[in-house]
Amino acid sequence: MKRTFTLWGIAMALLWLFAPCSSMAQGQDGNHEWVGNSISTVINNADADMNTVFLYNVGTHKFLNVGSHWGTSVSAYNVGMPIKVTNGDNGLYRMQGVTNTPEGNNIAFGRKMDTQDNDPVSWNRVYCDRSTQINGHNNGIRDWKFEETSAGSKTYKISCFNDEWQYNMQGNRYLHVMSGPTDGSNRLELDYPGTVNDNNGLWKIVTLKDMKEAFKEQYASDEDPADASFLIHDQDFNRSNIKVGEWKADSRFSYAMVDGTTYRFYPDGRYTYYVGMGCYRSNAYQRSYGRYWIGSVRNVNRNANANGSLTQTVTTLKKGWYRVSCDGFYSPGVQTPTWQWPWLQPSSSLKSYLFANVQGQSNGSSSVSTLLNVFKKEFSYTVDELTHEYTDQETQRESPYVKAAKLFEKGKYTNSIMVYVPNDGDKLDIGIRVEGSNMPADWTAFDNFQLQYCGNRDLVLDEMQTSVDYMVQQADANNAYTLILKRTLKEGIWNTITLPVSLTAAQFKTAFGSDAKLSKLEGQDPNRKSRIIFKSVNLSDDNTNAIEAGKLYIMMPTHGANVTGGEYKKTLKSGTTITVQAPYFVINNVTLAAAPEAIVKEQSKPTTTIDGKLQFCGSMIKQDTNIVPAYSYVLGANDGKWYFTQSDLSINGFRCWIATGDAAAAKFFTFSIDGQDFGTVTAIDGIETDNSTESGTVYNLNGQVVRSNATSLEGLPKGVYIYNKRKIIVK
């Protein structure tokens, strides 16, 4: 339920949008700061978009939401909680959010007298689940004062009066956001001082109408995308959220709620679809872990009910590219071997996907999916643990759901896809699809759905174009685009890559897989002349550039292109149209500052080859002429192995090669990344076009001639040799 995510939230995304607008969106000033609304204009307003509000904190640029203790105590977060404000007693106001537990659904300041719990996290803070009365008195202080800082400022201090005179919290208590996170996430806790002296205690009333109008009038491609997550109901699978039903479970799934009013799911083994963290009761376990509710599909010995889709329909506001993301993984279960078949360990066929489909559209870019990250087994779990109901006495025992949620909040399992919405107001189906579940411990976990608008501008890079002219017509240093990248890559093997645009680590991992690898050429190993060394690119900082425009790399993607069907067309300034066929990659927020040179060459690196150089080269376009010189190393497209060319070759765009200029001495280099060998020239005959190798000559793997004019390998020491262009092992 509580998550860290790398993009700015609604407020900051809208603040930083780059393109100018001729008029300001309702609710914002010229700097795209929220103006706010007078509380009198939202009370009892008949317009649902006006009486649904979000409380925006001026100092932190975050919104009031749930997600702290019990899962119902308030915090400040990038995404806001929809709130209804009504008239209370004596000129004060009351608020309700979207949480409804057995304790209630009011936003109220909880006192010690309101609870039998002796843990201090259970009182002297604001909760979103308080009822009208308990034990004959009000269950928390539900009446709130909205004090405008000055007439017409539409900026408020929000407070209640605590009538419990103990624990040093009596009197006025203000909503105030603490300056820094206390739990490693970007969710901020609140404290409740008796006075307010800084902007962290000031609030704006932002309406749903403000959100929609601001979103419509912004162009969201130049900086961070405009956040549209407010269009998703219960995007974080919060505890007892009244909108959880907007997630429509496939009829094949089995699930049940405890009752019809408190939105709690049974965790036991009768059910496959589950929202929670292993406990639905309001007990000590809920107090400790209520902030960690997530969504799950578990097999739990119910194959017939463990496959299907969970879907929410979102009504979009504007045509263009959207980024759909979530935290999540799928974990294929393993059946325990039986005594009859102790060696048998059947494997699961489970595959789970994040999907986004525009209703009524069949084009591949409007119907996309991506395989979720596979679980890396940071912890173990059993079916019993997935179906167990955790009690007051088990607070030291974290459920698998809690453990998964803690991984999610560290950003361990982020997933995203880009989808194209052709028309304003199109309906977009988003969700999780589970296929092939056939083992009891199969588990798909997910949380923190987000939706960002990335604008309607596109940039196409096509490996089959034979001139950079199409890039010249698209180059624009002042704007960012959604990139359509046609570069054929095979997942799980090494490929070469060079691009005319830069990609951050986040963009690289989103496009090619969270476990994708990227390396750059260092040169010949000074300590081992027969080895060419590469060095891994650090992908840990999402905001730093991983691929730099015009640089040359090798990469290993871990998943395929995110658009797998149809074609994509773009009309250039000249009026000509370029068309790429799926599969292709879609990457948001990319800038092509200038068209590149067709051929890219790194500075030569000194070697012991005949001409004394080793040069990494690449092409941005398809080369119909034989541009790759003989005696170069290229990576095979089908197997990721190094091949040593014997004649000049042509090459498609966005690919690289290593030129040696040496017909013999460089022929049997090995290759390493960070000191670990990852390949030798294992199939030198697979790509050669002539017979330049001397027939009958035997080489060792260091490229040294060990026997000339040989008719056999008899008498050679044990080892691996190259003979007549083939690797032969002498035992």
For residue range 166-193, list pLDDT tens digits in order. Answer: 888 999 999 999 987 655 566 899 999 9
pTM of the model: 0.83
DSSP state of 343: T
CB-based burial, 82-95: b 16+ in 10 Å, e otherwise: bbbbeeeeeebbbb
Rounded to an integer, what is the distance from CA 357 to the centroid of its chain? 18
* pLDDT range class, residue 17, cuts 50, 70, 90: very low
Paired tokens of 366: 């409007």
* pLDDT range class, residue 523, cuts 50, 70, 90: confident
State the average pLDDT over residues 532-554: 94
CA–CA distance, 654 with 602 (Å, rounded to integer) = 15
Question: For 457-461, 583-587, 687-691, which range has the lowest pLDDT when averaged over its residues?
Answer: 687-691
CA–CA distance, 412 with 3 (Å, rounded to integer) = 11
CB 73 within 8 A of CB 191: no
Look at residue 131 and tell me whether its pLDDT is greater than 60: yes
Rounded to an integer, what is the distance from CA 406 to the centroid of its chain? 16
Question: For 37-41, 147-151, 533-537, 602-606, which range has the lowest pLDDT when averaged over its residues?
Answer: 602-606
pLDDT value, residue 647: 86
Please name the fold of domain 20-215: Trefoil (Acidic Fibroblast Growth Factor, subunit A) (2.80.10)
CA–CA distance, 248 with 311 (Å, rounded to integer) = 5
pLDDT value, residue 23: 38
Rg (CA), the chain: 30
List CB contacts of 122: < 8 A, sequence separation 6 or more.
69, 70, 110, 115, 287
Look at residue 653 and tell me whether its pLDDT is greater than 60: yes
Question: Between the CA of residue 122 and those of 111, 112, 113, 119, 333, what are the distances in Å?
Answer: 8, 8, 11, 6, 38
CATH superfamily of 219-453: Galactose-binding domain-like (2.60.120.260)
* pLDDT range class, residue 214, cuts 50, 70, 90: confident
State the average pLDDT over residues 489-510: 96
CA–CA distance, 465 with 580 (Å, rounded to integer) = 10
Q: Is the dihedral of CA 494, 364, 483, 212 positive or negative?
A: negative
* pLDDT range class, residue 687, cuts 50, 70, 90: very low
DSSP state of 559: S
Look at residue 637 and tell me whether its pLDDT is greater than 50: yes
* pLDDT range class, residue 706, cuts 50, 70, 90: confident
Look at residue 666 and tell me whether its pLDDT is greater than 60: no
Q: What angle do CA 67, 71, 76 make, to 5 degrees?
A: 20
Q: Is the dihedral of CA 580, 581, 584, 586 positive or negative?
A: positive
Look at residue 4 and tell me whether its pLDDT is greater than 50: no
Helix (H) / strand (E) element for 505: namely: helix 505-512
* pLDDT range class, residue 200, cuts 50, 70, 90: very high
Look at residue 22 and tell me whether its pLDDT is greater than 70: no
* pLDDT range class, residue 611, cuts 50, 70, 90: low
List CB contacts of 686: < 8 A, sequence separation 6 or more.
636, 641, 643
Give the amino acid at 291.
Answer: R
pLDDT value, residue 479: 85
State the average pLDDT over residues 654-683: 75
pLDDT value, residue 8: 36
Question: Between the CA of residue 243 and those of 73, 100, 240, what are the distances in Å?
Answer: 18, 10, 9
Look at residue 109 and tell me whether its pLDDT is greater than 50: yes
Choose from 37-51, 609-623, 667-681 the range with maximum mean pLDDT. Answer: 37-51
Question: For 280-284, 444-448, 536-540, 692-696, which range has the lowest pLDDT when averaged over its residues?
Answer: 692-696
User: Over pLDDT 70: what percentage of the chain?
Assistant: 84
Look at residue 415 and tell me whether its pLDDT is greater than 60: yes
pLDDT value, residue 133: 65
Read off the pLDDT of residues 296-307 as tens digits, 9 standing for 90 and up.
999 999 989 999
Q: Which of 388, 416, 414, 415 is nearest to 401 (CA)?
A: 388
Q: Which of 104, 101, 192, 179 is nearest to 144 (CA)?
A: 192
List CB contacts of 630: < 8 A, sequence separation 6 or more.
645, 646, 647, 648, 663, 692
DSSP SS3 for 14 = helix
Look at residue 519 and tell me whether its pLDDT is greater than 50: yes
Read off the pLDDT of residues 334-346 as tens digits, 9 standing for 90 and up.
765 554 445 445 6
Look at residue 729 and tell me whether its pLDDT is greater than 70: no
CA–CA distance, 124 with 131 (Å, rounded to integer) = 16
Could you please report the per-residue DSSP string of 372-409?
PEEP--SS---HHHHHPPP-GGGTTS--HHHHHHHHHH
Of 614 and 195, which is predicted with more confidence? 195
Measured in Å, how far apart are the chain's first and last C-alpha atoms? 59
The residues with which 427 forms a beta bridge, in sequence order, are: 315
State the average pLDDT over residues 482-502: 96
Long-range contacts: 136-141, Cβ < 8 Å, 24+? 137/113, 138/114, 139/103, 139/104, 139/106, 139/108, 139/114, 140/106, 140/108, 140/109, 140/110, 140/111, 140/114, 141/108, 141/109, 141/111
pLDDT value, residue 433: 99
Q: What angle do CA 141, 145, 146 make, to 5 degrees?
A: 140
Q: Which of 408, 364, 15, 416 is nearest to 224 (CA)?
A: 15
Paired tokens of 482: 């959604």
Range list of H helices, 201-275:
208-217
pLDDT value, residue 32: 67
Q: Which of 10, 148, 159 is nearest to 77 (CA)?
A: 10
The residues with which 450 forms a beta bridge, in sequence order, are: 325
Rounded to an integer, what is the distance from CA 539 to the centroid of its chain? 14
* Maximum CA extent, the chain: 106
CB-based burial, 202-217: b 16+ in 10 Å, e otherwise: bbbbbbbbbbbbbbeb
The residues with which 28 forms a beta bridge, in sequence order, are: 34
Q: Which of 163, 62, 116, 109 is nearest to 287 (CA)?
A: 116
Look at residue 686 and tell me whether its pLDDT is greater than 70: no
Rounded to an integer, what is the distance from CA 679 to the centroid of its chain? 31
Q: What is the number of other CB atoms lying within 10 angstroms of the CB of residue 7?
A: 19
DSSP state of 243: T
Rounded to an integer, what is the distance from CA 141 to the centroid of its chain? 39
pLDDT value, residue 68: 84
pLDDT value, residue 489: 96
The domain spans of the chain are 20-215, 219-453, 458-596, 600-730
CB 483 within 8 A of CB 255: no
User: Over pLDDT 90: what percentage of the chain?
Assistant: 64
Paired tokens of 385: 């643990």
State the average pLDDT over residues 426-451: 97
List CB contacts of 297: < 8 A, sequence separation 6 or more.
253, 272, 273, 274, 306, 308, 310, 352, 432, 434, 437, 443, 444
Task: Count the helix, strand and coil residues of the chain and give each as a percent rounded to the nearest 5.
Answer: 10, 35, 50
**What mean pLDDT value characterizes the chain?**
86
pLDDT value, residue 15: 34
pLDDT value, residue 227: 86
CA–CA distance, 257 with 265 (Å, rounded to integer) = 4
β-bridge pairing 373-374 and 320-331: parallel
Cis peptide before 583 (omega within 30 of 0): yes
CB 459 within 8 A of CB 580: no
Look at residue 9 and tell me whether its pLDDT is greater than 60: no
